[in-house]
Structure 1
Amino acid sequence: YGVSGAEADRKAREILERLGLRRNSYDEPMEEMSRGMQQKVAIARAFLTSPVLLLLDEPTTGLDPRSKREVQEFVYELRDAHDATIILTTHDMGEAEALCRRIAILDEGRIVAEDTPEGLKGRIRRKGSQPTLEDVFMELTGKQLRNRDEEEAAEAPAAPVEDPQVQPETPALAS
């Protein structure tokens, strides 16, 4: 990737320090690290070469609130400092809103909406309060799920009618 060993080591330590990883754990084997520390190391590795395109899949899953915030702030800073495109997958709508300029909502692998966070929230109306991205997600995917469930139930074959002459294989319990 065009980064010397010394430069990679320096950048890795800088990123790990920025993410709050203790210096005494830099040389610790990954399998001995906590889930949160492993996640931070993975993020540091991803940013080591200053990529222009980065895919992050649930980057803060398993992190405590402080570590989660440190990672989010780091991603935000790097996105702006390196003019990087970051594709983030998350179920955390608050995280999506904090980190993303544009959001695509998927339902069963299909994009059902794509816009800025404010643009998405402007698509639904709520009495007395501003909708959240979670409200938008539920509105755009919840009704479809309910409709699909109803359609599948209507299309399902009818349950077989039991013959009263046939005895069940398992005895009934009497009280």
Structure 2
Amino acid sequence: MTLNAPPEASAALSSVPRDLTGREVAIDVQQLVKGFRKKSGGTLLRPRFTESRAVDGVTFQVRRGEIYGVLGPNGSGKSTLIRAMSTLLIPDAGRVSIFGLDVVRDEAQVRRLLNRVSVDAAFYKKLSPRENLLYSAQLYGLAPHVAEERALSTLKRLGLKEKAFYEPLEEMSRGMQQKVAIARAFLTSPVVVLLDEPTTGLDPKSRRDVQEFVLELRDVHDATIILTTHDMPEAERLCDRIAFISSGKFVAEGTPDELRALAGPGKSLEDAFIELTGEDLAEKGEEDT
């Protein structure tokens, strides 16, 4: 399987911003804030609302070709962060740039550079993977024969049999549907991929297939990847660097070894998370925001 960057990506990659160490910066997030209003009482005509910040002053950079993990429990702000980075939400404050392009000001250009996979991927369930993927390809102006070849190759790489390419999605397991979502994300050869808990709910074999594919994308195809998860082993296996997020704030950032060292000798990554955030990854039952 070969992923060729679209012209917009090639132009962006030719003038990649660099950090203070001279390394190429693919994603630059500065003081990002995103809040929501929730009804908290009052009357029908005079409701009362409370403001809450799902993302609260987050700042970080992701280098080109890096897998960067955002690790936190449900409700910590992971998904809101991903939606703001992918142009689906407009930040209340701060900025996000992808290869030097602002996600608000340069929205159309940014969308040509990235794609997103979420735990709740939407499809036309009566249609087959082939029909869903070719429809998505048309939206991006991708030639049908190129899209079909690329989609089938990706699905095979993820462990799906060719006959599944033509069966209705509603007859497929959750794991198979998630693999189709990943194939859809890579149809347009994005140079930045935002993976929002892509393996949640998958069986061990499907989870391993997805993880190996993610590593291949980083190592072979020069993709820059952000991965949100609350799975410690997954984060340790895949991520070059990890940020701990709690209540919308980053509380620590570093390599897995650096984060373990913050908690003391002999401590695990989970120990480090609990010590630095004061909460357990599984203790929040609400849906992530």
Give the shorter-chain TM-score range.
0.7 to 0.9
> Which structure 2 residues correspond to residues 113-128 of structure 1 after superposition, within 5 A?
113-126=252-265
Distance 2:236 2:181 in 1: 22
State the superposition RMSD in angstroms.
Answer: 1.6
Distance 2:165 2:222 in 1: 28
Larger Rg: 1
1:140 aligns with 2:276: yes
Bigger share in helix: 1
1:112 aligns with 2:254: no
Q: Which residue of 2 aligns with 1:150?
A: none
Which 10-residue stretch deviates more, 21-30 or 92-101? 21-30
Q: Which residue of 2 aligns with 1:26?
A: 165
Q: 1:2: how far off?
A: 5.7
Identity rate, percent: 64
Distance 1:42 1:92 in 2: 20
Distance 1:97 1:9 in 2: 34
Distance 1:132 1:10 in 2: 43
Distance 1:100 1:143 in 2: 21
Distance 1:121 1:46 in 2: 33
Matched AA of 2:273 = F
**Residue number among 155, 178, 181 corresponding to 1:16 in the alignment:** 155
TM-score normalized with structure 1 length: 0.76
TM-score normalized with structure 2 length: 0.47
Q: Which residue of 2 aligns with 1:101?
A: 240
Q: 1:135: how far off?
A: 1.2
Q: Which residue of 1 aligns with 2:223?
A: 84
Conservation of the 8 A alpha-carbon contact between 1:50 and 1:82: no
Task: Report runs of 4+ in structure 1 exceeding 6 Å deviation.
Answer: none
Instruction: Choose between structure 1 and 2 for higher RCO, CA contacts under 8 A separated by at least 6 residues.
Output: 2
Structure 1 spans left out of the alignment, 5+ residues: 145-175
Q: Which residue of 2 aligns with 1:45?
A: 184
Structure 2 spans left out of the alignment, 5+ residues: 1-139, 281-289
* 1:113 alignment partner, SS class: strand
Matched AA of 2:260 = K
